[in-house]
Structure formats: C-alpha cells, structure tokens
Amino acid sequence: MKIVLYPDPVLRRGTKAVDDTSPWKERAREMFDLMYETQGVGLAAPQVGISEAVLVLNPTGDKEKPEEELVLVNPRIVSRKGKEWGQEGCLSFPGIWGDVQRALKIVVHAIDLDGQPTEFVAEDFLARVIQHEMDHLNGVVFIDRFSPADKIRTRNQIEELEDRWRSQHASR
C-alpha cells in the first residue's frame, strides 16, 4: 500500500459505498501504519488507490495513542456550524500547505468496522480532519478550497507535482 499523489485520477473519481466491512479490518490497519509512517493525521481510501468510502484518522498523529483512532465507513456530515480558516496539508500533495475554510462543528453519521451505525459530534481540529478526508471521498482535494492567495502562491508547486506525475506515467 502506498500514497497516491496528485494528480492521479483516483483522487478525483469519488467513491462507492461499502456494503461489506470485513475486508476493511486489515486494510484500515495498513492505512493507519502508512499514515503514521508519513506523519499524517488522516487518510482516505482514494489516497491509497481504492475508490470506496472509508477513511482513517487519529487527530494526534501518534501511533502510541490508538484510543484516538477512528475508522469511518460511508461517513456523512449531517450538520455543520460555524466557519474558520485554517492551514492544511495533505499526504497526496507533499510539501504543499494552504488555508482552507471549514466548519468548526459537525455531526457525523457513519458505520464502524463491525458494520454498526455511529453518530458523533466533532469540533475544531477533529472536525477539520474529518472534513478534509471526506472531501477525498467525494473527489474534492484541498487545493480546490484554498484561499485565493494560496491558490496563487502554490501554483508552481502544484504544476511541479502535475509534471512529475505525467512524466512517471507517460510510459504506461
């Protein structure tokens, strides 16, 4: 399992709902391992090349705090409150950071790895991480939500990522 880099088409494809969570028990563990290895706090299935509606996150980014780990299958945000700009990065966009506006408080519906429904409130940084990862499930990447200034500031870095990806995939 490896991180898919922008502009790989899988990042824009969107996802399908998961009916059977059983294959995801092992996959989620692999995703957590990869997330920790790359110093991330969240990872969505499209970022590892799988077009299914699953994300993993640990807002601490600390593998020594497994009690903070969340796996969300078929997540939906059913309520949003407040708005705040904050800086984000993304494992599929190495070295690129920018300001993104997100809701401060969200209510999330999802199912867990046992197929059980769950609903919870997330606020502040946790809410930001969930919204970022859920965007991946819908084919939206964080640069789409950058402030106008950050879109301009990161243009060359994004073009470099696109050129590198094209050159690596030209012979395929």
Q: What is the pLDDT of residue 151?
A: 94
CATH code of the domain in which 135 resides: 3.90.45.10
Q: What is the pLDDT of residue 172?
A: 58
Please indicate, yes or no, if residue 103 is contained in any of the structural domains.
Answer: yes
Average pLDDT along the chain: 96
Please indicate, yes or no, if residue 19 is contained in any of the structural domains.
Answer: yes
Helix, strand and coil in the chain, % to nearest 5: 35, 30, 35
CA dihedral 95, 87, 143, 156 (to 10 degrees): -40
Q: How buried is 112 (Cβ within 10 angstroms: 0-12 exposed, 13-18 middle, 19+ buried)?
A: middle
- With 70 as the cut, is the pLDDT of residue 159 above it? yes
Please indicate, yes or no, if residue 1 is contained in any of the structural domains.
Answer: no
Q: What is the pLDDT of residue 170?
A: 81
Give pLDDT tens digits for 116-156.
Answer: 999 999 999 999 999 999 999 999 999 999 999 999 999 99
| Catalytic hit among 133, 159, 160, 162 | 133
Residue 68 and residue 75: Cα distance in Å, rounded? 17
Residue 57 and residue 115: Cα distance in Å, rounded? 18
Residue 133 catalytic?
yes
Contacts of 102 (CB under 8 A, 6+ apart): 83, 84, 86, 127, 128, 131, 132
Q: What is the pLDDT of residue 86?
A: 96
Please indicate, yes or no, if residue 21 is contained in any of the structural domains.
Answer: yes
Q: What is the pLDDT of residue 102?
A: 98
Give the total number of structural domains in the chain. Answer: 1
Give pLDDT tens digits for 53-89.
Answer: 999 999 999 999 999 999 999 999 999 999 999 999 9
